[in-house]
Amino acid sequence: MTRPRIVALDDWERSFRRLGDWRAIDAAADVTIHHAPLRGDALLDALRDADAIVLMRDRTPFGTELLAQLPKLRFLAYTGTRNNALDQQALQARGIPVHHTEWGPSKSATCELTWALILGAVKQVAVSSARLRAGGWRSEVAEPLAPVLHGQRLGLIGLGEIGGRVAAVGRAFGMDVVTWSPHMTEQRALQHGASSLPLEELLATSAVVSLHLVPTAETRHLINAERLATMRSDSVLVNTSRASLVDTDALVAALKQGRPGAAALDVFDAEPLATDHPLRDAPNLLLTPHLGFVVEPVFQRFADGVTAGLAAWLAQG
């Protein structure tokens, strides 16, 4: 009898094997785990003979066209509880069962990274570290020093589970927390110790603007060239939510023009970020490679959930 073939994609962190117990699965199936992104023919070649596929979140879009080219597919698993790049209806139409894992403390992790980016950008950590490593100490030219966040305004675009956590830290720093979202109310803002403001006022008056919205057609490129131009010249824009909320080309141009004064990004339109992408050369920009949810306890849940799902599928024969 031919052994089932299992293919896992986009394990960039090389975590599946390190954190999961694959012994029962390896005894019953042939497993291939890909660590580099695959697209086009390379993706199809990797998946064509797979009986089961494991997706790391939504790193690889999995739509109707791809599914149609995988006649052997009998089971699909993905990490996390939501995958907006997966065609669930097409899988259901084929009768292919879909399994997903639990999340773990991803919202706390994203809040922590948000503040790491805020503080890193405001306190000029990357520039100072690079100067020190290069043998320097202070800048050789007169330039503005890092500000203090106490008493400054923190503008949160979105105040859900992550935004609410970010607001609590802002209050602990003694910041004036304000918020906007398409359906924000003053009562909801007050529950998090914030004030509800029009978007234009929030952008124009906040020292730090942090994005925490779920993207929709309504919020795509919400932060565009016109809105970026209204931001303070000493402000910082932070995005640990979704890249589609910001017009990336407009942000590159805006940073060159000095409004906002700086930005920090953890999410990008296409990931991994291309080596020649203009963001890599933009001024006053702190970048991290989508690390918001990439923490040990979250990936432990991913690995445990994937192996449990595969083991249960294999046991069904």
Active site residues: 242, 271, 290
CA 306 to CA 295: how far, in whole Å? 17
CA dihedral 20, 26, 29, 31 (to 10 degrees): 60
Contact (CB, 8 A) for 87 and 67: yes
Quote the tokens at residue 89.
């209806």
Smallest CA-to-CA distance from 211 within 221, 201, 99 is with: 221
How many C-beta neighbours within 10 Å does residue 187 have? 8
CA 83 to CA 220: how far, in whole Å? 18
Go through the chain and tell me how many residues it has. 317
CA 130 to CA 127: how far, in whole Å? 5
CA 171 to CA 64: how far, in whole Å? 46
How many C-beta neighbours within 10 Å does residue 67 have? 20
Strands 176-180 and 195-196: parallel
Smallest CA-to-CA distance from 50 within 34, 64, 30 is with: 30
Would you say the C-alpha torsion 127, 113, 287, 204 has a positive or negative sign?
negative
Quote the tokens at residue 262.
């700086």
CA 126 to CA 263: how far, in whole Å? 13
Scanning the structure block, which residue is given the tokens 């805020």? 118
Contact (CB, 8 A) for 240 and 215: no
| Burial (CB count <10 Å: 0-12, 13-18, 19+), residue 71 | exposed
